Every structure is written in C-alpha cells, then in structure tokens.
Chain A
Amino acid sequence: MIESIIAWVMALLAFIAAVYAVEAKDLLSSAISAGIASLVVSILFLMLHAPDVAITEASIGAGLTMAIFVYSIGRTERWEK
C-alpha cells in the first residue's frame, strides 16, 4: 500500500517536472526540471526492481545530460523567444 502511494507521488512529480521542462521560457530552469524528472524516474526504476537501470538513469539522466544542457545554454542563450 505505502509502496504504491510513493510510486504514484513519484510518477506525478515526474509528470509535473516533465511538463514544466517543456513549457518553461527560462531554459536553465527547464534543464534543471528535466534533471529532476530523471532523478524521480530513477527512484521509480529502483522500486520496480531494476537497480542497474536506476544507476544509469541517475548518473546519465540527472547528472551528465543536465550538465550538457547547462553548458550548451552557457554557449547560446538563456531565454526562449
């Protein structure tokens, strides 16, 4: 019971973060929001008994991809027109 409640909360968080990542005009907060979505999804993977996928998702999705986005924003523009 408690597990399914946690799973629902995590999934809702991931959904909200993903929608915000698409809709936000500030690309920096959009990138950070996408990172939060990956982190929450990695917790979901852990709950679905896939620890190896969770490790990969946490380090690549939340760490490296976000860093690539942030560095790219630093080289281009921060605000979406």
Chain B
Amino acid sequence: MRRMAGIVLAALLFACIMYAFTFVKTYDYNSSDYYYTDPIEGGKVNETVTGHYIENTKNETGAINAVTAIVVEYRGFDTLGEVTVLFTASTGVSMLLYSLHQRRKRREANLILKEGSKIVLPFILLTGAYIFIHGHLTPGGGFPGGSVIASGFLLMMVAYPKYFLKESRVSITESVAGMIFVLIGMLGLVFASYFLENFLSLGDVGRLFSAGIIPIIYIAIGFKVGAELSGIMNNLKGVEE
C-alpha cells in the first residue's frame, strides 16, 4: 500500500515537472525580461547577470564559451575549491579501501569486449583531451573531459581483469596538475593585481591560443579530474593478485 502511494506520488511529481517544462523559454536577447529603461538617461540598461555575461564575456575574457569564462575566470576561486573537494573525496576513498583490499578470481571478459576496448580506447582519450583543450571554444571543459578520460580507463579495467594503473603515476599527475593551477593563480598576484587574474594577452578571440590563462588552467583541471576519477576506480577494483 505504502509502496503504491509512493509510486503514485512520484508519478504526480513527474507530471508536474513535465508540465512546467512546457513553459521553458529560450533566451530572447531584446526581451524586456533582461533589460529595463534607464529612468534618467533613457536607453537600455542591463538588468540581469545573465545578460551581462552573454554580452560581455567575449571582450572581457576572450573565451567564446560563456560557461568556461564563468567557471575559470569570474568564479576561478570557486573552481579551486571544487577541485579540492574532488581531491579530498578521492583521498578518502583510497584511505577507506586501503585496508579492504580483497584478492579474488575474476572471470575473463569476452573476446568482443577485449578486442573492441583496445580499438576504442585511443579515441576515447583523444575525445577527452579535445574536450578540455578546446574548453574555451566549444561546449565542455576540464570536468567533462577528465571524466571522459576516466571512463576510457574504466573500460580497460572492465575488459582486462589484470589491468591496473600505477598508483604513483596517478598521484604524481594529480599533484602536478593541482600545483600548476595554484601556481598560475599566484603568478596572477605577481604580474597583475589579484589571485587568478588573467595576466596573459587575450589574443585573437576564437583561436586555440587565445583567452590567456583559461586553456592552461582547464588543461590542468582535465588532467587532475581524470587522474582522480581513474584513481578512485583503480582503488575500487582492488589489488593485483
């Protein structure tokens, strides 16, 4: 009885959410929701943060992808905290599972998975690298790219029972990437005025080598996230027999 009531409640909630989706509007640049008229001087004035970001990110940061501009440039310090949270989580997992290492026999995967994963792995890694190197130009960035790379290593771990990543290599990659992030932030203090300020020139907007420190930081984040998530998978899988 209670289970049925729960399912019916969930269905009702689902119907409400889907009904709400029919009211979703796309962004209208000149809509009065985003502008108001200046009472003294007249003319359009930006009312919302959204409008400001959409209008000005290209000139202020040199990044075409506004999401990247917000994550790395306007809210760069938050991203440093986010990366720290992920680092703490991965350290916690390895600490918890260190004493629980089990030795168990695993079944061999089938031929199609084994051979197919060998062929697909380079393409998955390339896609992940593309996503975080082009973070300032195309959708995506360090976090999606890193998780794509980690899922590539996960595929290898599923296909081959004896495939393990070297713990030391994972932790060195992770530490170096984290240090590069903090160091670039410090260089902002040296060459400009505040932590994580963009001290390089913005370059041609739309080129790969543009937007100053944004691509460098996103490459570091991509390596760090990829190493952390692969390290968690490695720890969960167990130890070598």
Q: Which residues of B sit under 8 angstroms from A49, Cβ to Cβ? A: 26
Do A64 and B14 contact each other (CB < 8 Å), given the known contacts A51-B139, A52-B140, A52-B144? no
Q: Which residues of A sit under 8 angstroms from B100, Cβ to Cβ? A: 75
Bin chain B's interface residue count: 20 to 34
Chain B residues touching A, majority SS: helix
Q: Which residues of A sit under 8 angstroms from B141, Cβ to Cβ? A: 52
A29 within 8 Å of B (CB atoms): no
Q: Chain A, 54-81, contact with B by CB distance < 8 Å: what is the 0/1 string? A: 0110011001100110011001000000
Min CB–CB distance B3 → chain A (angstroms)? 7
Which segment, of B54-62, B115-123, B179-187, B230-238, faces chain A?
A: B230-238
Min CB–CB distance B230 → chain A (angstroms)? 9
B88 within 8 Å of A (CB atoms): no
Which segment, of B147-155, B159-167, B194-202, faces chain A?
A: B147-155
Do A68 and B7 contact each other (CB < 8 Å), given the known contacts A52-B140, A55-B144, A55-B148? no
Given contacts A15-B14, A51-B140, 16 further A-B contacts (CB under 8 A): A7-B21, A11-B14, A11-B18, A48-B24, A52-B139, A52-B141, A55-B131, A55-B140, A55-B144, A56-B144, A59-B150, A59-B151, A64-B151, A64-B154, A71-B233, A71-B237
